[in-house]
Amino acid sequence: MYHTILVTGGAGYIGSHTCISLLEAGYEVVVVDNFSNSNPLALKRVQEISHRSLNVYSVDICDRAPLKEVFLRHKIDAVIHFAGLKAVGESVEKPLAYYRNNVYGSIVLSEVMAAAGVKTLIFSSSATVYGMSENVPFKEDAPTSATNPYGRTKLFIEEILRDICVADPEWSVTLLRYFNPVGAHPCGKIGEDPSGIPNNLMPYISQVAVGRRDKLTIFGKDYPTPDGTGVRDFIHVCDLAEGHVRALEKIRASAGISVFNLGTGRGYSVLDVVKSFEATNKIKIPYIFAPRRPGDIAVSYADPQKAKEILGWEVKRNLEDMVRDAWNWQKKNPEGYA
């Protein structure tokens, strides 16, 4: 039975929601985060919501000595690895920062884990590894490729972890490929709080709704989709968090590497999401169209069957839940955690 789980990047959007799921499932949780793109207040609220305490360390995964210290201080049983830079556009502008933080950081983490005898890891990967293919729904055995440095870091880390498992059969690694996480914990105390202009649709809509932005810009209205806007597999962040707990329960029994999609298995267009947000929350969202962004595909959604069969995991929440919870977080926290 695993007892203590180290969560890297645990103060981030998906990390903080996963910490709640882990605490509610009875695990002890240790968080390391450098807070470069997250806020310590998120972890304070995680503890309020779950009525449990966390051990929190302000540590960068690239810094070997303090990371090693965390493993010496706690008897870690498994690691869930979220820590990473994650903006596609920024990765094109600053590729070296992405390779250093994401790839080198993952190497340091893996080395420190091995030295401590901790060889169980769940890695936060991404549907971006399916590249520009539009062979939907994406199955786990689909060919992988990347169209930007961010996606390449995810792909490289997946390959590095595969090689580790080949070299040392004691390792047990699960790669979770997420589709588009949205929404927030239903209590409205934690949620997505991007710095600067949001890269993702839902926080952009929410910031328009709360008056932080004038209007939503929709990139592309000429895709070969029912309404011309891009179609994505949006998944509630709480469903995603629960997927990590299921993966942790499953990973105990198996060595080697396994990979699972975490998505709903259906796509919603940008306009579907806007209309659902307006109807559910009774708020008008003004929007304009702009040309397509380079590297955006028309349609992307998961085949989540493998996660259902092997992990016993499936989504419980629908689009209405996603837009309601996203708005509940934003209206209670108009400026995010600020």
Whether 103 is covered by a domain: the verdict is yes
Structure confidence by residue, pLDDT tens digits, 16-33: 999 999 999 999 999 999
SS3 state at 269:
strand
Query: Whole-angstrom distance between the N-terminal and C-terminal Cα of the chain?
Result: 38
Token pair 């105390």 in the structure block, residue: 189
Structural domain including 21 reads 4-182+234-263
Whether 165 is covered by a domain: the verdict is yes
Task: Report in angstroms the alpha-carbon separations of 295 from 35, 153, 195, 202, 231.
Answer: 29, 16, 22, 19, 14
Whether 163 is covered by a domain: the verdict is yes
The predicted pLDDT at position 236 comes to 98
Counting every residue, how long is the chain?
338
pTM of the model: 0.97
Whether 333 is covered by a domain: the verdict is no
Task: Give me the number of domains the chain comprises.
Answer: 1
Residue 34 identity (one-letter amino acid): N
The predicted pLDDT at position 188 comes to 98
The predicted pLDDT at position 112 comes to 98
The predicted pLDDT at position 287 comes to 98
> What is the CB-side half-sphere exposure of residue 313 using CA atoms within 13 A?
27
Count of C-beta atoms within a 10 Å radius of residue 67: 23
Count of C-beta atoms within a 10 Å radius of residue 172: 20
DSSP letter (8 states) at residue 139: P
Query: Residue 246, exposed/middle/buried by CB under 10 A (0-12, 13-18, 19+)?
Result: buried
The predicted pLDDT at position 46 comes to 98
What is the block-wise mean pLDDT of the chain (338 residues), using blocks of 10 residues?
A: 93 98 98 97 98 98 98 98 93 96 98 98 97 93 94 98 97 97 98 92 98 97 97 98 96 88 98 98 98 90 98 98 98 96
E strand intervals along the chain: 4-8, 28-33, 55-58, 78-81, 120-126, 172-178, 180-182, 216-219, 231-232, 234-236, 256-262, 268-269, 287-290, 299-300
Task: Tell me, yes or no, if 204 is annotated catalytic.
Answer: no
Which of 27, 130, 150, 204 does the annotation list as catalytic?
150
- CATH code for position 257: 3.40.50.720
Structure confidence by residue, pLDDT tens digits, 133-189: 889 999 999 999 998 999 999 999 999 999 999 999 999 999 999 999 999 999 999
Distance CA 33, CA 101 (A): 12
Whether 278 is covered by a domain: the verdict is no
Whether 80 is covered by a domain: the verdict is yes
The predicted pLDDT at position 32 comes to 98
The predicted pLDDT at position 54 comes to 97
The predicted pLDDT at position 219 comes to 96
**Is residue 281 a contact partner of residue 211, using CB atoms and an 8 Å limit?**
no
The predicted pLDDT at position 295 comes to 80
The predicted pLDDT at position 338 comes to 86
Whether 311 is covered by a domain: the verdict is no
Whether 218 is covered by a domain: the verdict is no
